Amino acid sequence: MDDKPTLGLVGLGNLGRAIALRLLGAGYRLLVNDRRWEVAQALELHGATAIPTPLLLAEEVDMFLTCLPGDEELFEVYIGPEGALEHLRPGATVIDFSTASPMMMQRIDREARLRQIDVVDAPVGGGPVEANSGQLTMMVGAEPAVFERMMPLLGVLGRETYLVGPPGMGKVVKLINQLLAGVSLVVIGEALALAANAGADLATVYEALRSSTGGWKLWRDVVPELLRESGEVSFRLELMKRDMELAMRLGSDVGSPVPMTALAHQFYVAAMARGWGQLPAHEVARLVGRLANASFSASSARGDDLLAAE
């Protein structure tokens, strides 16, 4: 007998759609909604049921999942005039995968508690590729008993799942991750520009450093994409800019200075001014290179061979 809960998912961007497909593949009954009706309908070919509004979806499900762009959308879906919280049954569970402010998540949690609804704040590390294979890293803010109850579902999506505190703390940890990534991409651009202007072959620099103390994960993942001028977009530059702004707001709220984040953020502002918002976030490194009059694509033939061997 199948005792899996009925799930509803609102937000079918690249990550949300990959999460939906993973859950469908695991045998869950899934209702979906997105502002783009055609995107929701397309998932019916994979076994989902498209529902016209989040409100109607909330009335049908045991667990209400969201993967949305930010605070404004979370407020609209959960608390606004057509908010889902009013229509979820007592005992239901909310799981949010979005990157947003801790304050918004805490507000949703307060409103949900009044209605006897549990909240799981579960932003993720990774993208559609990791979601498709169940390899996301999950930073979960929830009550311990709720976390344990949700582990079968979270385990379908995540390779590593961490309980980091109550609702809202998942968002805190995710913003720290984004702060580190956003600043690091600027530093990578600075390092490559210095190497190029000093006459080094960038592919050789990449190989020499990737297993040393300077060769952390972003270096290993991003530098080959920069040297190949890859057009693949896994995470948009405009979203990294937004996440860094959320981190700066959090710093202001808790009285913790974030000067490196604020400085790095200006490079994202400059990239946006150039119309680069839809490009991969790592393209900010190329902007740093241009400011230094350095090119990242002029690898030697030997360097190209090294990259091809990756």
Lowest mean pLDDT among 47-61, 136-150, 289-303: 289-303
Residues acting as catalytic residues: 174
What's the confidence (pLDDT) of residue 299? 47
Evaluate if residue 305 carries a pLDDT over 60.
no
Confidence check: pLDDT of 249 > 50: yes
Scanning the chain, the segments in alpha helix (DSSP H) are 14-25, 37-42, 54-58, 71-78, 102-113, 128-132, 144-157, 169-197, 202-209, 217-228, 237-254, 259-273, 283-291, 301-308
pLDDT at 230: 63
Please answer whether residues 94 and 108 qualify as being in contact, where contact means their C-beta atoms are separated by less than 8 angstroms.
yes
User: How far apart, in whole angstroms, are the C-alpha atoms of residue 243 and residue 249?
Assistant: 10
Going from the C-alpha of 78 to that of each of 89, 96, 188, 216, the distances in angstroms are 14, 11, 39, 38
Band the pLDDT of 231: cuts 50, 70, 90. low
Confidence check: pLDDT of 104 > 80: yes
Q: Can you list the domains of the chain with their CATH numbers?
A: 7-165 (3.40.50.720), 172-308 (1.10.1040.10)
Tens digit of each residue's pLDDT (9 = 90 or more) over 270-280: 999 999 999 99
Using pLDDT thresholds of 50, 70 and 90, give the confidence band for residue 85.
very high
Tokens of 101: 């402010």
**Predicted confidence (pLDDT) per residue in 154-190, tens digit:** 999 999 999 999 999 999 999 999 999 999 999 999 9
Mean pLDDT of the chain: 93
For the segment 113-126, what is each residue's pLDDT rounded down to a tens digit?
999 999 999 999 99
> Please, what is the Cα angle at 72 between 34 and 82, to 5 degrees?
60
pLDDT value of position 132: 94
Structure tokens at 148: 């344990």
| pLDDT of 240 | 96
For residue 234, the model assigns a pLDDT of: 73
Q: At 229, is the pLDDT very low, low, confident or very high (cuts 50, 70, 90)?
A: confident
What is the pLDDT at residue 214? Answer: 85
* Over residues 39-56, mean pLDDT: 97
Please tell me the predicted confidence (pLDDT) of residue 304.
44
pLDDT bracket for residue 197 (50, 70, 90) = very high
Rounded average pLDDT over 70-83: 94
Question: What is the value of pTM for the model shown?
Answer: 0.90
